[in-house]
Amino acid sequence: MPYFDCSYRVPYADTDQMQVVYYANYLEYFERSRTEMLRSIGFPYSEMEKLGFFLPVKEAHVTYHASACYDDLLTLRSYVSEARGARLTIQSEVRRGDELLVSGSVTLCCINSAHKVTRLPAELLEAVKLLTVND
């Protein structure tokens, strides 16, 4: 299956006064999921740095469906929906059991060590094939 899943238990620090997850933390959950997904295919950010490229966020889209709360056990799911040119788009979901809480996407732009936009390296393109879902 091309999806990457990891678990995360919501700490109190991620919540607001009503013990509901603070909205900005959902983007952090997307980042946590994509970081672990890239690590699972052999591309932790430290390896990208050694190869001379970086993947900063170009744009992000988030749709809220329901709230997570303190101490919920969440499943963070990510997969690649596009990898071409200088763009890598990763779809993400946050679930509590079968309930979808948040969905969205993050588009990353590949840059080299001179901070110039560059094509995604062939090694990365080959590695993300296992995590790509074509809509």
- Among all residues, which ones are annotated catalytic? 16
Smallest CA-to-CA distance from 69 within 47, 101, 116 is with 101
Using CA atoms of 26, 12, 74, 56 in order, give the dihedral in degrees to the nearest 10.
30
60 contact partners, CB below 8 Å, separation of at least 6: 27, 30, 104, 105, 106, 107
CB 63 within 8 A of CB 116: no
